[in-house]
Chain A
Amino acid sequence: MHSEATPTAAERSFAAWADDVAELCGLVDALRPLGRSLGAPDPNATDWHGALFGKLRPQVSREPVLVAAVCGGTNTGKSLIANTLVGAAISRSLPEAARTRHPVASLPQGLAGRIDLRELFPGFTPMPWTSEEDALAVVDDDRLVWREDASGNQPARLVLLDTPDIDGTLRENWQRAELVRNACDVIVAVLTQQKYNDAAVRDFFAAAAAARKTVIVIFNMVAWPQQRERIAGWLGTFAAETGVEPAAVYAAPHDFEAAEAGRITFHPVPELTPDGASVSPAERLAHGDFDRIKFRAMEGAMRVVVDPHAGLGAWLDAFERSAGQWREAQHLLEQDGRVRVDLPTAPREIVWNEIWKWLEPRRSGFDLAVSRVYRVAGKGVMWAARRAGLARSDEERRDDFSAVELAALKQALGDFVERLDDACRRDPRRAEILGPRLASADRAAWYADLERRHAALPMVSEAYRGFVRQELDRFARENPRLVGLILTGLNVGAVARPAITVGLGLAGAAVVPAAAATAGGLTTLVHHVGDVVVGTAATLAGEGALGLTAAGLKPLIETLFAGWSAERGRILAETLHDVVLGDRLEEIGRLASAAARPEVARARRLLHACAREFA
C-alpha cells in the first residue's frame, strides 16, 4: 500500500512547514551559544530540540522515507528481532549485555544514492556496513552503520534500524538510541517481563508517545503460552506509564537457541491490537499506511516543538528569565562596583601653568614684563626657602604627589576588588562570571599594571593641554568681559579639590568634563569636595590676586581641574577594565541584553503562528 515517488497530500502539507522549520532552526542556532552563557537549560537535552533538529529539519522537505527502529533495554534481544524483521543478520547478537554500540540501518535498494544519511540522521557519521560486527565497535564517535537490503524485499521507502540500549551503564548508548528515536516514525518497542516498567525504559518510550510516533510492542522472552495471560496486565502498566497506544502487540517466546539461529516466532496478540489483525510485524511494517504514519509523526514532532510547557517556547521563557537575572546582576554590580578615590590635592601650578601658557600671547608687553619680574623674584624667594629646608622644590612636590596618588589608586583598586569579591559572595550569577576571574588571576600583576600605567602617565599630557586650550577658548568666546579682566592682569590662585569615583555604568554625573574618561563599561566621575577658592595667596609669585568675580570663573576652574583629575583616574579604570575584569563587563552587558535580541521575538512569532495551525 506504500506510495510511489509522486508527492502525496500529507507530504505536501508538511512540506509547507519547511520554511518555518528552517528559520526556527536558524534562530535557535543563533541563540544557542548565548543561552549557554546565560545558563539557560541545554536545548540538546530537551525533547523539542530532538523533534526540531532530529526529525523536522532533516525530513520536512526530503523524500519521505519511513524510519522504523527497534528499541529497548539491554539484553532484551533487540538485535535478534531487528535481524528477523530485516530478514538478514545485520547486527551481531551476543549473550553479553549492551554490546550493540551503534545503530545499524537497513536501507531499501538505491536509497543510499538518493539521500544523504548524514542529514537524515543528524549527529551520526554514516559508515557502510561491512559485517555484523560493525555495530559492536568500541569507538567514541557516533556511527551509524548502514547497508542496503540485498534481497530487494524491503519496501522502497522503509528504513529499518537496530539501536543500542536505553538503560545500561554506558550513557552514550542511551544518547545514540535517543537520536535514532527522534528521527524515526515507527518504534518497535522490545519489552520483557523484567523491563516493561523500568523508569529508564518508560522515559524513553514516553517521549516517543509524546511525539506521536507509531509504536509496535513486542514482548520478548515470554514463556509461551504460560505467560500469555500476563501480557495484558504488563501492557496496561506500560501504556498507562508512557502514554503509548500500541498499533500492534506481539509476544516472542523465550527460546534462546531458536533466536540464536534467527528463528523468532512472533505471536500476534490480536485482542490487544486495535485493528485486531494477526499479521506478522514485518508485514505490518511493509504494508502500513506510510503517509498517515509519516504525517502523524511529523505533526507529533511539531506539537512537541510548539508545546507551551515543554517546547521551544518554554526554552525561550527560560532564556528570557536567565537574561532577566543577568540584568538584575548587572544592576547590582553597577551599585556595588564603584570606588571613590581620594586623590591628593593636585599641585595647583600644574593646571595654572597651562592657563598661563594660554594667556601668554594675549597679554600686553607691560603686563608681561611685570609678571616676569615678579616671577623671577618669586623664584629667588622659593630657592632660598628650599635651601633653608622650609619649602620643597616643584620636583620634590611632584614626587610626593605621585607617591601619594599611586597609594590612593592602589587602595582604590584593592577596594574595588574587595567589593567585587563581596558581590560574588552575595550573588551566584555574578560569582559565575566574575568569580573565576577574581580567583584565578594573579593579583600581583594587577598592581604591577597599575604601577606601570601610573609611571607612564605624564603630569600633564598633550591631551590635557588640548583640553585646556579648548576649554579656555570656549570660555573666552562665551565670556569676553571676564577674559578682558584676566587680560588686564588677573591672577587667581584657586584650586579645586576633586574626588574621583570609578565605577560601572555610572549615571547622572554631576560634573562630567569633556575629558571624562570611560574605558569599556567603566566610567570615571569627578566630584568636587572643596569649593573653588578665589583670591587665596598665589602659588606662583607675581601672579597676584586681582579682582575677578568668583561666579564666572568657578565653573571653568572646576572643569579644568576635573579634566586633569579625570585623566589621573582613568588609569585605574583602564587597569580595572583591561586586566582585572578583562572582557567580563562586556560579557555581562551582552547577557543582560540577551532578551532583547531580535531572534527571540522572531522565534516567538513563528512559534505562535505554528501553534495556531495545531490549535
Chain B
Amino acid sequence: MVPREDDAPATIPAGETAGGEPDFAGFDHVVESLAVWSGALPGWAPARRVRGEWEQVAPRLERARRELSRVLVVGVMGGTGTGKSTLVNALAGCDVSDAGDVARPTTITPIIVAARDVDLSWLPVEAMRGRVVRSDSPAVANIVLVDCPDPDTQPLVAGGPGSRPSDANHNRDLLEAVLPACDVLLLVATAQKYRSWVVAREVAAFAPGRPLLFVQTHASRDPDIRADWRRELESQGFSVPRIFRLDGVEAARRTAAGLEPEPGFRELTDAIDAELVGRAARRVRRTGALDLACWFTRQARTQLAALRQPTEEFAAGVQAERARLEGILSQAVGTKLRSSRSAWQRLITDEVVDRWHGGPFAMFLHVIAAIGSFWTRIRPGGGVIGRLLAGQSAVPAGGSGWQAVAELGLSEAEVEQSRSILAGLAARAKVAEPLVGRARLDATRVQQTAATLLERTGQWLGTGIEQLVTERRGRVGGPLLHWIFEALFSALLITVLVRAGWNFFHGHLWEGRPVDGAGFLQEAFVWVILWGLLLRWGVFALVRAGLDRDITALVSRLPAAKLVDPLLADFEEAARDVRSYLDDGDRLGREADALAATLAEPAAGLGRLRGESS
C-alpha cells in the first residue's frame, strides 16, 4: 500500500475550520504569542521556569507545523507482560519483537516497525536506541510502530541496597528516550496492570499533546475491565472515547495463519486506518499540537496562579509606599514654604519693586529694597527651597547625595524603609534582583536618584512658586492700586510740604512767628518713613493674603507630579511588568482554550489528556 501522504495539500488555507480542521492561522498566532510571552520577563524566576518549559514544548509544536504530512509514529507502551510485543507482532504480521513468558522484561531494545517504502531519515533512531524492522503488513503501511520497553522493571529508586541484577535495567530510561519521538501512544494494559502506578506516572508525563489509543489485551483470559479502566483514566484527566479489547496471541496466530482476524484486533486495525492515516494524520497532529499548547498554558497558569495575590499585594504596596514618601515630602515642603516668610517677602517685594516705577512711593520701595538686598547678601539662602525662593538652582553645586535631599524630608532611612518593605513584598511575589534593586541604594544610584529627585522637585516647585508669585503679581499689577498708594504716600508728603509752606509764608512772614527750623522737618521725615513703611506693609499684606492657603493647595498637587517615583522606580516597574505578564498569560491561555474548543475531537476513537487529574 502506498503511503497516502500526497493526497492532501502541503498546507491548509488559513481559517479553514470545516470538518474539524483546525484554524491554523489562529494556532500560529497562539504559538507565536506564547513564544514571545514566555520569554518576556527573563528577570523573574517563575517566568524563567515557564520559559524552560516552553523550550521543551516549542520544538514539538514547531515539528508539528513543519512535518505536517509525514506518517505518524505510534508508540506501544504498557507494563511488562501486558503483551505489547505480541500486539506489535500481530500488527506487523510476523515476529519482529521477542514476546512471551520466559523472562521479564522481554523487550530491551525498542523495535521500530515501518513499511519498506517509508523513509525514516527524519526519525531519531539513534537517540531512540532502537532497531528498525521493515514490514509488509497493511496494518503498518501508513504508520510507524514502536514497541517500547516497559516502565515497571527498572528500580524505582536508583542505588538500592547491594547489587541486584535489576540494577542494570534501564528500561524506563529507554522508554523515556523513545516516547518523545512518538506522535500517538497506544497504551496496552491487562486486568493486572491497568491500575499500575508506575505506568500511570509515565503516561501522565508523555500524554500532553499525544492522542492515545487504549487497548486491553489478554481478552481470552482476563475479565473485561474496560469500564473500570475508563473511570481510572478519566480520573487522571483523560477523555476516553473508546477502549479496544483483544487477544494478542490469538490475533498473531490468525494473522500468521492468514485467517480472518479476531474481531477486537480488526476494530483496532480499522481504527488505525481511519484515524491515524492520511488526512486524519494531519488532523491528529494538529489537534495534538494544539492540545500541547493548551497543556502548556494550563501548566504555566497553574504555576503562576499562586503568585497573582502576592503580585497584587506588591503593586498595592508600591502605591502605599509612594503615598507615604509623598506624604513626608508634602509635609516637609509645606512646612518649609510656610516658614520661609522672609524669603517670600523678599520675592514678592522684588516683584512689586520691579513693577512699580515713578512716583515717590515707588522710589521709597526701591530704597528699602536696596537696603534689604544688602542684608540678603550677607545671609545666604539655605536648602532647596531657600535656593528656589532666592531664585537659584535647586541642585546644589557640590553634587547631590542624601544630604541634599534631607531638606525635603526624605532621609536615607525613610527611603530605605520603603524599599525594604517593598523588597519583602517583592520576595513574596518571587520578584528579586535583577528586576528590582536592593533596599539600600549604592552610592552611584544615590547620586543619580537624588539628582533626579532634586531636579524634578526643583522644577516642579519652581513652577509652582512662579505661578503663585505671578498670581499675586496680578493683584498689584494694575496702575490703579499703584496710584492709590502713591496718592496716599504723596498725601502725607504734600501735607508736610503744605504745612511747612504755611508755617513759613503765613506764620512767619504774615504773622511774624519765628521759623520752626529743622525740628519740624526731622519730625515730618520720621512720620513719612513710618507712613511709608505702613503702606509697604499694606501692600505686602494685600499680596500675601491667603499665601498659606495657596501653599497648601500647591502641596496638595504634589502627588500628581510623581516626584518620588525615581526612589521606587524599579519596584514600580517590576510590579507593572509582572502584572502584565500574568495578565498576558491568562489571556493567551483563554485564547488557546477558545481555539481548542472550536475543534472537533481528533477522531472518534482517540483519547486525549484534557485536564488535571482529580
Contacts and interface: CB of A to CB of B under 8 A. Distances in A.
Interface of A: 73-76, 95-98, 165, 167-171, 174, 192-200, 202-203, 206, 210, 221, 227, 230, 233-234, 237, 240-241, 243, 254, 256, 309-310, 406-408, 410-411, 413-415, 417-418, 421, 438-444, 447
Contact of B440 (A194, A195, A233, A414): A414
Interface string B402-423: 0000000001111011011101
Contacts of A174: 197
A73 B190 CA distance: 13
Given A168-B195, A168-B197, A418-B438, A198 B414 contact: no
Contacts of B425: 443
B196 A167 contact: yes
B228 A97 contact: yes
Interface in B139-192: 152-156, 160-162, 164-166, 190-192
Contact of A199 (B190, B198, B222, B411): B198
Given A194-B81, A256-B221, A443-B421, 19 more contacts: A73-B192, A74-B196, A96-B225, A97-B228, A169-B200, A192-B192, A193-B81, A194-B193, A199-B154, A199-B198, A202-B155, A203-B155, A210-B161, A237-B103, A241-B166, A406-B413, A408-B413, A421-B427, A443-B424
A169 B195 contact: yes
Q: Which 8 A-B pairs have the closest CB atoms?
A: A194-B81, A407-B413, A95-B223, A443-B424, A197-B104, A96-B228, A97-B195, A443-B421
Contact of B101 (A171, A193, A240, A414): A193
Interface centre among B411, B420, B423, B428 (most CB of A within 10 A): B420
A227 B103 CA distance: 12
A456 to B, nearest CB: 19
A76 B439 CA distance: 63
B54 interface: no
A556 to B, nearest CB: 33
A199 B197 CA distance: 11
Contacts of B153: 197-199
Contacts of A97: 191-192, 194-195, 225, 228
A413 B418 CA distance: 12
Contacts of B197: 167-169, 171, 174, 200
A523 to B, nearest CB: 23
B102 interface: yes
A535 B165 CA distance: 90
12 contacts: A97-B191, A97-B195, A165-B195, A194-B81, A199-B153, A199-B198, A206-B160, A254-B221, A417-B420, A418-B420, A418-B439, A447-B417
Given A95-B225, A171-B197, A414-B417, A197 B438 contact: no
A168 B196 CA distance: 5
B428 A194 contact: no
B211 interface: no
Contact of A198 (B79, B162, B222): B79
Interface of B: 79-82, 101-105, 152-156, 160-162, 164-166, 190-198, 200, 221-225, 228, 232, 320, 411-414, 416-417, 419-421, 423-425, 427-428, 438-440
Contacts of A417: 420, 423-424, 439
A198 B80 contact: yes
A200 B198 contact: yes
A414 B420 contact: yes
A310 B157 CA distance: 15
Given A200-B156, A408-B413, A438-B424, A418 B440 contact: yes
A414 B223 contact: no
A194 B82 contact: yes
A411 B424 contact: no
A199 B156 contact: yes
A411 B418 CA distance: 11
A95 B412 CA distance: 74
Given A196-B104, A310-B161, A407 B423 contact: no
Contacts of B165: 237, 240-241
Contacts of A196: 104
Contacts of A309: 161
Contacts of B154: 199
A195 B192 contact: yes
Nearest to B427: A439
A73 B161 CA distance: 22
Interface centre among A171, A407, A413, A414 (most CB of B within 10 A): A414
A252 B342 CA distance: 110
Contacts of A447: 417, 420-421
A490 B423 CA distance: 53
Given A97-B191, A230-B102, A169 B232 contact: yes
A198 B79 CA distance: 9
Contacts of A227: 101
Contact of B195 (A98, A197, A254): A98
B417 to A, nearest CB: 5
Interface centre among A167, A254, A413 (most CB of B within 10 A): A167
Contacts of B416: 410-411, 414
B196 A169 contact: yes
Contacts of A410: 413-414, 416-417
Given A240-B164, A310-B161, A256 B223 contact: yes
Nearest to A422: B438
Contacts of B232: 169
A134 to B, nearest CB: 20
Contact of B156 (A96, A203, A444): A203
Nearest to B169: A199
Contacts of B424: 417, 438-439, 441-443
A334 to B, nearest CB: 22
A199 B413 contact: no
Contacts of A310: 161
Nearest to A99: B228
Contacts of A202: 155, 164, 166
A169 B428 CA distance: 35
Interface centre among B155, B221, B223, B424 (most CB of A within 10 A): B424
Nearest to A171: B197
Contacts of B417: 410, 414, 447
A400 to B, nearest CB: 12
Nearest to A435: B427
Contacts of B224: 95
Contacts of B166: 197, 199, 202, 241
A243 B165 CA distance: 11
B148 to A, nearest CB: 16
Nearest to B416: A414
Contacts of B164: 202, 240-241
Given A169-B200, A198-B80, A233-B103, A407 B411 contact: yes
A578 B106 CA distance: 64
A47 to B, nearest CB: 10
B152 A200 contact: yes
Nearest to A416: B420
A378 B342 CA distance: 31
A197 B225 CA distance: 23
Interface centre among A96, A165, A243, A410 (most CB of B within 10 A): A96
Nearest to B82: A194
B140 to A, nearest CB: 26
B411 A167 contact: no
Contacts of A198: 79-80, 104, 152-153, 196, 198
A499 B221 CA distance: 87
A442 B417 CA distance: 12
Contacts of A221: 221
Contacts of B190: 194
